[in-house]
Amino acid sequence: MDNYDVVVLGGGPAGLAAALASNECGGKTLIIEREKLLGGILKQCIHDGFGLIRFKEKLSGPEYSGRYIDMVLEKDIDVETSTFVTEIKKQGEEFLITIVNSKYGVKKIKAKAIVLANGCRERTWRQVFIQGTRPAGIYTAGTAQYFVNMMGYLPFKKCVVLGSGDIGLIMARRLTLEGCTVEGVYEAKSTPSGLSRNIAQCLDDFSIPLHLSHTVTRVFGDDRLNAVEISKVDEKMIPIPGTEKIVECDGLVLSVGLIPENEIAESLNIKIDRKTKGPFVDQNLMTGLEGVFSCGNALHVNDLVDYVSESGEIAGENAAKYAKEHKDRKLIRMNADSKFLYAVPQYIDINSLNQKVIAYFRSRDIRDKMTVKLLYDGQVIFSRKYNKLKPPEMERITFDISKLNLKDNGEINIVMEG
């Protein structure tokens, strides 16, 4: 049986960074990837803007992942592609992983630590409850992106985009450039979900209208989509009767959110945070189950790949260290107040040698001139002023806990003050 210090599940940007960091720390490392090639979703994200923080360059998705793939292939890191994990069991201190592929059939592997880098999935139209028939021509933005960028097919002549997430905006531009008419982008919320610069460069540049507080309430068509019904929605996102309009189109693109992929975490009974939809973790990105780490979009949905790589590095490094030796954790809670959508990590291990905490958070609403503070035992241990906080833009902070003398009955509270 093959024995590894660290097995990384997923060969996208998080998994690649995790494997490199684990290897760097001396961990014998294996990446398991279900697709034929490494790179994850970046393979089809041909637009640029990746890597501004990491490489100080404006790269396309395949270039960003390509650089990491090159580094992984140069190192002594094992890679199994076209391989699925069917089961993971914890046996004492170790993990027994069952994999299946065409090379070995069914095979068992042992690992001292596991990094979950499974990424996320797109929410589908089944999950947004649109009424009507079930015609062809309705795709998630990622599927439309696969058709256009990987296969070279243009799936529509005239389409409507539902949801203003970044991939939807990017696809509105991409489809327009390839000759499709994008009638408009409709967003049920009263504020856009995507980054401002994507509204500017993907919609405004091509005069594609963005309709806030509107949604698709019905689809029409037998074999093929031929129209959608659009309605205005109230502040609770409930459609307002009498506001319906029909838009003729042969395509509907859905960009209605991403959900971390955690089937394997759930099979291990790892506790999932309802806010992030990823596992609860400490500053080393270790989940509630000792020896299992989480990173990238499986942990929480990021808007920048640079932060996905960063969290991969944290998880990979700490997984390799854990595989070598570890002591018991002493976890204290890190709570974000209701003005935040979420904050990660949710716990701090006060026994850990890692005293430099990197935390990520999102504001629940758009807010001007706010101060974000971390409080411990009534003391302000971190404070930063923000001109503007927006839900689509994740914020990153770092703080040092080495001089704080944290007690195991304490907790850290993250608050926002205006």
Helical segments of 56-157, H only:
61-74, 141-145
Member of 18, 210, 304, 406 binding another protein (CB under 8 A): 304
Q: Which of 2, 24, 34, 81 binds another protein (CB under 8 A)?
A: 81
Size of the site for another protein (CB under 8 A): 36
Q: Does 395 bind another protein (CB under 8 A)?
A: no
**Taking CB under 8 A as the criterion, which residues in 241-270 touch another protein?**
none
Report whether 305 contacts 51 (CB < 8 A).
Answer: yes
- What CA–CA distances, in Å, run from 220 to 63, 137, 172, 217, 277? 40, 11, 21, 10, 33
Residues 6+ apart with CB under 8 A from 358: 283, 310, 314, 396, 397, 398
Neighbour count for residue 75 (Cβ, 10 Å): 12
Longest dimension (CA), the chain: 67
x/- site string to another protein, residues 352 to 381, per CB under 8 A?
------------------------------
Q: Which of 55, 58, 106, 136 binds another protein (CB under 8 A)?
A: 58
| Residue selected from 2, 24, 63, 78 as contacting another protein according to rule CB under 8 A | 63
| One residue of 78, 393, 395, 411 binding another protein per CB under 8 A | 393
153 versus 407: smaller Cβ distance to another protein: 153
Tokens representing 126 are: 């089944």
Nearest to 72 by CA among 9, 10, 17: 17
Interface stretch with another protein, choices 126-134, 146-154, 245-253, 274-282 (CB under 8 A): 146-154
Secondary structure element (H or E) that encloses residue 254, with its range:
strand 251-254
Looking at 3, 70, 333, 407, which residue binds another protein (CB under 8 A)? 70
Residues 17-56 that bind another protein (CB under 8 A): 36-37, 43, 46-49, 52
Contact 217, 231 (CB under 8 A): yes
By rule CB under 8 A, what string of x and - marks binding of each residue 189-228 to another protein?
------xxx-xxx--xx-----------------------
Is residue 228 a contact partner of residue 141, using CB atoms and an 8 Å limit? no
| Sole residue written with tokens 């395949």 | 62
Q: From 65-73, 99-107, 209-217, 243-251, give the range in contact with another protein by CB under 8 A.
A: 65-73
Q: Give the 3-state secondary structure of residue 46.
A: coil
Q: Do residues 171 and 145 touch, judged by C-beta distance below 8 A? A: yes
Q: Is residue 73 near another protein by the rule CB under 8 A?
A: yes
CB neighbours (10 Å) of residue 190?
Answer: 12
Rounded Cα–Cα distance for residues 45 and 142 (Å): 9
Cβ at position 225, least distance to another protein in Å: 25
Residues 6+ apart with CB under 8 A from 126: none
Q: 139 near 156, Cβ under 8 Å?
A: no
Binding another protein by CB under 8 A: which of 26, 75, 106, 151?
Answer: 151
CB of 388 to another protein, least distance (A): 9
Min dist. Cβ of residue 128 to another protein (A) = 26
Q: Per CB under 8 A, does 303 bind another protein?
A: yes
Name the residue nearer to another protein (CB basis): 149 or 231. 149
Q: Contact residues for another protein (CB under 8 A)?
A: 36-37, 43, 46-49, 52, 58-60, 62-63, 66, 69-70, 73, 81, 148-152, 177-178, 195-197, 199-201, 204-205, 303-304, 393
